[in-house]
Every structure is written in structure tokens, then in C-alpha cells.
Amino acid sequence: MTIAKEHVNKLIHENSPYLLQHAHNPVNWYPWCEEAFIKATEEDKPIFLSIGYSCCHWCHVMEKESFEDEEVAEILNKHYISIKVDREERPDIDSVYMKFCQAYSGSGGWPLSILMTPDKKPFFAATYIPKHSKYGLAGFVELLDSIKETWELKREEVLNAGDKAQEALIRSEKLDIKSINEDKFIDEVMKNLYNVADFKNGGFGDKPKFPAPHNLLFLLRYWKKTKDENLLKIIEKTLESMYRGGIFDHLGFGFSRYSVDEKWLVPHFEKMLYDNALLSYTYCEAYEATKDTLYKKFTENIFTYILRDMTSHDGGFYSAEDADSEGVEGKFYVFSPDEVKSALGEEDGERYCKLFDITEKGNFEGKNIPNLINSTLSELNNHEIDTLREKLYRFREKRVHPFKDDKILTSWNGLMIASLAYAGRVFHNKDYINQSEKAVKFIIDNLSNQEGRLFASYRNGETNNLGILDDYSFFIWGLIEVYLSNFKIPYLEKAIELTEKMIELFWDEDSHGFYLYGNDSEELIVRPKELYDGSVPSGNSVSAHILLKLYNITGTTEYLEKAEDLFKAFGSTAEDTPTAYTFFASSLMTKNTPGSQIILCGNIEDNEIQRMLKVCYKTYNPFRIVLVSDGDDKLKALCPMLGDKAQIEGKATAYVCKNYSCMKPVTCVDELEKLLND
């Protein structure tokens, strides 16, 4: 039985789109707050904690079946205190209870359903729960009745289970700190990825398939080191197959979160900012490595989507778009042949349907997800096809759009900033660099304070929640990429300032590595450290990456030492399941690979410096750092390793160091190119 909007609960005062979606449920939801825990203690009730996010399909299903249902609401309101959490606003809470769920049930996901004591100790976990038993799952009504009875009759057992859960979580955070054979570990990551690679369809493992761009970034680096062409084959097969599939929106562009089949045809249709940030970065790096212009086109397609649909007027990037519209998953994205022909006309419609696999039978619940799985990509290099795509896109725009989660997250914005700035550098596109600068300004103006404390999310003029490690490390990555693209000193200064603050707030002086939440934040039942590189790389993996970048830019040895301590702290953990830590492995590879450092002395606007920069970026080398110094004293103070490097006789001058050896400076573009190619 569904309900009307006469119900209002405490979520009505929240800012999160996800929490507001539940503000009119008959369930007496609380946000995560002290009031809820005090009430649970005073009324001697267990807590039902539900964690999800606004664009989660199964979260919507559970809401419709249970949280909008008067029968379920009556049970929850009478016997439980119910708390809702937006995992994107509070990833710290999500991390703690997801680890419990994975240990308790052997799997995880969202919605995350936790039953816990008033002092926040969990004793039961599940993900989606149907109202009544089905799909082989126990029903929510039966479960709540059973837990209520257990709470009343076997309280001591429940409390003991909660205590043991907390103890187990604390034990799981203890690290076996020891040195590992780093090169052997990197090789193991490669071998394990290679063994599960799908050379037919691209990607890794069986369905469902996630893009996992950090797997591809790792393989690109390993390929650069070894020139193993089999690795390049799986990289290119994956990048091309994902673009061909229905996981990519061939009308409006942008990638959905994952594919339910092995061919990348049928996605879960929600689009996440982090996926599109990391995938655009990966396609751009693949272009730099191979010079295949299709990868440049794919990167630009993603940016078209982000800058058109997912960017606020003042430069911040929105979080996600839902899978559902009008209550139906994928409805916005699918077509029948008749719909295509009504938009394009009979002849053009037939042609478009043939190219994009749109048939009477359909490939998704009687309708069609446009895809290019059985077409040649060369057919796309056709102005006429672009015109038809644009026409059908405008036709689709008249439909009811999926919900857009317009909160702006510091962490995911950092990833998008990094991708835009990097692509701006590789494509020589100042517009992308300008967009990245605008987003940086938004974060600094709206999501940080004068003490360098970052906040996690922003919406409707309101900033919420202290930033966690991901907010710092991802945003610093973005700042570094912007600096390496425009060489404006304030971006480097801010990256250094925030790195120092990150170390102050999150670093574990005893066991090393970074905690997920800061020493000034709310204390949870355990203080976790995240290393697993899941849908996004972990904050620790990215921290290692930025520490090494800053060491190579500034020469400050503290950054290298911190990175080495981090690798030692987590090395043993990563050894157990190497493919779960591919971004960590990429950072480790950067540390262990002799790279090159190129310092160009002169004004960034000088034509000769610009020509030298183009030569530097002509070849792919992820282990290279390129800097431009105009002799500014402030820059020399930030980067002591610049030393006395300066222009020779007033000419643009290049200093090149490779394999721990520096060469004689050159003042001619041709000489620089020869040095780099030797």
C-alpha cells in the first residue's frame, strides 16, 4: 500500500536529495544524529539503519515495497528507531557498516540494511530486503518481527553479538606491516588481470561487468614498461567494447555505472560523475599512448555530456543521474523502431536503426538500447550520422528526464578536475583547462575554510559534513593536474597546503597509512583505513599517487618517505588479492620505475616554450614530469630542486634528467626532441 505526501518525517530538514526522497515516507526516519541515538537509548529500542544513494535502483525498489508501506512503517515506528544515511555524503558511516555486512553475509551493496544497538554496534546486515519472502530472501516484515522478539527475549545475546562485531571490525583494521617484494607484487597484479581478461568482449571476469578504469590505467603503465602487445590488445578491446555497448549513451553521451551482461549491452542506467571522470581520464591516456583519434573522440564525448548536463553555472559538477524515469528503469534511454522513424523519417530512421541495433524484437524488455556492438566504428566518422544523432537526441529531450542528484561532492569533483586538466594538456585544449580552473575555484570558495579544512558536499548554498581522506586526496590530484597544465603557482601552493593538512588530519603516526576520517571528526565504532580500489580508487592509493607527484615536482623528501611508509603499511594486505588494488599498484610502479624530469625555463606564453611542451607530450610517458619555471622566487621556494636552473642567453632552455642522470641543457626544440627520443 503506497502513501500520499501527508506524511512528513525529520528528513524534511535535510539537504541531501536522497534523504529528501524519503522525507514523506510514513516511516519516522531520522538523519544520523545524536537525537536518534538518545531516543533509542531512552526508549530501549534497536536501530534500523538504511544506507543508500539517490540514483540507486534497488534503493527505489525497497522504498516502494517497504518504506512507503503503512504496515512496514507501523512496525518500524513502534519497535525501532529508523535512521537514513546518504552514503555519498557520509562514506565514513557507509564504510564501517559495509565492512560488517560483507563479513556477516559474504556480500555487500545498496541499499545497505543494518540492525544495531543504540550504541551503534551492528548485529544484523543485509542489502535489499523484499517486504515479504521472495527471490529466496527472507521478508522484511518477518525479519522485523523476529528481531523484535529476539531483542525482547534474548537481549544479552544481541548485545554480545554487537560487542563481537565491533571487536572484529577493530581487529580487521590492524595491519601486518612488513616489506614486500614490490616488483613481484606488480607482476602478480598484471598476471591476475591478464588471467581474467575477456579478450572476446573486453573487460575482466564474468558478468556483471564494471568499467574499472584503474585496471586499464595500471595495464597502460605496465605496457609502457614492457611493450607487451597482448596487454595493449586487452586495453584496446575493453575501451572499444565499452564504447560500442549500451553502457555508453550513444545519443547524449556519458557512461552508465555497469553492464549486467558480458557484452556491455544492458546497463544499470544510472550515470555517476566518478565513472565518467575516471573513464574520460583513461580514454585520454589511451589516446596519448596510441594516438588513436577514436579515443580522443570518446573522451570529448564524455566531456560534452558532463559540461552540458552535469555542471552548475558556477563550475561545480553534479553527482549523478538516476536509472529510472516515470518509475521505470531505462525508460528515458530506450527506443522502438517506430519512435526512431517518427523522429528521423522513414529512410533515415531505417538507416539509424540498422546501425544502432534497433529492431522490432528489441534487446531490452521489448524496446532497444542503441548500441554499436555489431557495427563498424568507421561508420561513425560521418557528418550525416552525427546530424541524425543530434536530431534523435533532441527528440529524446522531450521525454521525462531521470532524476538528477545535484549535490556537489568535493571528492568526485576532484576526479573530474583531474581529467579535464589532463585532457586539456594532452589535447592542447584551453577550454578544458579553464573548466578545471573554474571547478577548483568553486571548491575553494564553497567547500573549504581558511584553515584548509575541506567539506564533503554542497547543495543549495549549504555546505555539509567534514571532508574525509577521499575529499583531500582526489581534490589534490585535481590541483596537481591543473598545475601541470597551466603552471600557475597558486595551484601548486594549494596542493601543498592541503597535502600538509591531509597528513595532519588523517595520517597514522604509529602504523602508517591514512585513516578514512579525520582526527577532528565524529568518532565511529571503528576508525577505518581504506585501501580497496573499488568503483573509485581508495583514498590511500590516490594519496600515494599525489605524494609521489609532489615529490617529483618539489623534491621534498618527506613526501617520498610518507609514500614509502604507506606502501609498507598496506603491502601485505594488497598481496592477498592483488587485483583489488590496481591503483595502489600503479602508484607503486611509479615509485619503482626510473622516470624522466623535464624543466623548461622561460615564460609559459613564449612560443618556443609552447613548442617545447608539445614535443614533451608527443610521446606517452606516465613516469615523466614536465615543469615550466620562469625564475619566480616563490616557485623556487616551493621547488628547491629547481636550484639555479635558468634560461641560457635569454633563450627558452630545457633541462632533461632521465634514469637518475641529467643531461646538458638545450635551447632548441629539435635538440630537445632528440634528447627525449634517445
Angstrom distance (rounded) from CA 212 to CA 135 = 29
- 26-67 confidence digits (pLDDT tens): 999 999 999 999 999 999 999 999 999 999 989 999 999 999
Report the share of the chain in percent with pLDDT over 70: 99
d(CA 89, CA 79): 27
Beta-carbon contacts of residue 87 (< 8 Å; ≥ 6 apart): 51, 52, 53, 93, 94, 110, 112
114-123, 207-216, 372-381, 464-473, range with the lowest pLDDT: 372-381
Q: Which of 472, 470, 419 is nearest to 448 (CA)?
A: 472
Bridge partner residues of 364 (DSSP): 367
Q: How high is the pLDDT of residue 178?
A: 81
Average pLDDT, the chain: 95
5: confidence class by pLDDT, cuts 50, 70, 90: low
Q: Name the strand (E) or helix (H) holding 468.
A: none
- Which residue is associated with the grid cell 512496514? 72
The tally of CA atoms less than 13 A away on the side-chain side of residue 517 is 20
Contact between residue 169 and residue 100 where contact means Cβ atoms under 8 Å apart: yes
Q: Give the mean model confidence (pLDDT) for residues 295-299.
A: 97
**Residues near 209 by beta carbon (within 8 Å), at least 6 away in sequence:** 201, 203, 258, 259, 261, 262, 264
Label the pairing between strands 624-629 and 653-658. unpaired
pLDDT higher than threshold 90 for residue 580: yes
Comparing 90-104, 425-439, 623-637, the range with the smallest average pLDDT is 623-637
Residues 6 or more apart in contact with residue 388 via CB below 8 angstroms? 344, 348, 351, 352
Q: How does residue 376 score in pLDDT terms, banded at 50, 70 and 90?
A: confident
- Say if residues 322 and 402 touch (Cβ distance below 8 Å): yes
Mean pLDDT of 544-572: 96
Higher-pLDDT residue of 280 and 377 is 280
Question: Which amino acid is present at 554?
Answer: T
How confident is the model over 146-155, as a mean pLDDT? 97
Task: Please give the C-alpha separations between residue 66 and each of 21, 319, 511, in angstroms, as whole numbers.
Answer: 14, 26, 44
Is the per-residue pLDDT at 1 higher than 60?
A: no
What integer is the mean pLDDT of 186-212? 96
CB 268 within 8 A of CB 320: no
The per-residue pLDDT for 646 is 92
The strand order across the sheet containing 271-272 reads 271-272, 320-321, 404-405
Contact 367, 336 (CB under 8 A): yes
> What per-residue confidence (pLDDT) applies to 2?
43
**Across residues 598-613, what is the average pLDDT?**
95
Cis peptide before 208 (omega within 30 of 0): yes
In whole angstroms, what is the distance from residue 480 CA to residue 208 CA? 34
Please check whether residue 129 is in contact with residue 113, taking contact to mean a CB–CB distance below 8 angstroms: yes
Q: What is the mean pLDDT of residues 296-300?
A: 98
Provide CB contacts within 8 A for 522, sequence distance 6+.
92
pLDDT attached to residue 384 = 84
C-alpha distances in angstroms, 147 versus 120, 389, 525, 532? Answer: 16, 54, 22, 32
Residue 379 pLDDT exceeds 80: no
DSSP reduced 3-state for 600: strand
pLDDT of residue 179: 84
Q: Is 4 helix (H, G, I), strand (E, B) or coil?
A: coil
pLDDT at residue 3, rounded to an integer = 43
**38-47, 134-143, 567-576, 613-622: which is most confident:** 38-47
**Structure confidence at residue 643 as a pLDDT band (50, 70, 90):** confident
Tell me whether domains 10-172 and 596-677 share a fold: yes
* DSSP labels, 224-285: HHH--HHHHHHHHHHHHHHHHSTTB-TTT--B-SEESSTTS-SEE--EEHHHHHHHHHHHHH
CATH 1.50.10.10 fits 189-324+405-592, yes or no: yes
CB half-sphere exposure, 118, CA atoms < 13 A: 17
R_g of the chain, CA atoms, integer Å:
26
- Residue holding cell 595520517? 507
Fold of the CATH domain 596-677:
Glutaredoxin (3.40.30)
pTM, rounded to two decimals: 0.96
Residues 619 and 577: beta-carbon distance below 8 Å: no
Residue 58 and residue 39 in contact, taking contact as beta carbons nearer than 8 Å: no
Superfamily the domain 10-172 falls into: Glutaredoxin (3.40.30.10)
Cell 538516476 locates to 322
Task: From 57, 133, 118, select the one nearest 83 (Cα to Cα).
Answer: 118
Largest CA distance in the chain: 88
Tell me the pLDDT band of 6, cut-offs 50, 70 and 90. Answer: confident
| C-alpha to C-alpha distance for 99 and 436, rounded to whole angstroms | 34
C-alpha dihedral sign at 23, 29, 34, 38: positive
Cell of 625: 614530469
Residue 378's pLDDT is 76
pLDDT tens profile 420-462: 999 999 999 999 999 999 999 999 999 999 888 999 999 999 9
Backbone conformation region of residue 124, classed left if phi is above 0, alpha if psi is from -120 to 50, else beta: beta
Q: List residues bridging with 85 in a β-sheet.
A: 51
DSSP code string of 480-546: HHHHHHH--HHHHHHHHHHHHHHHHHHB-TTT-SB-SS-TTSPP-SS-------SSS--HHHHHHHH
Query: How is the chain split into domains, by residue range?
Result: 10-172, 189-324+405-592, 333-398, 596-677
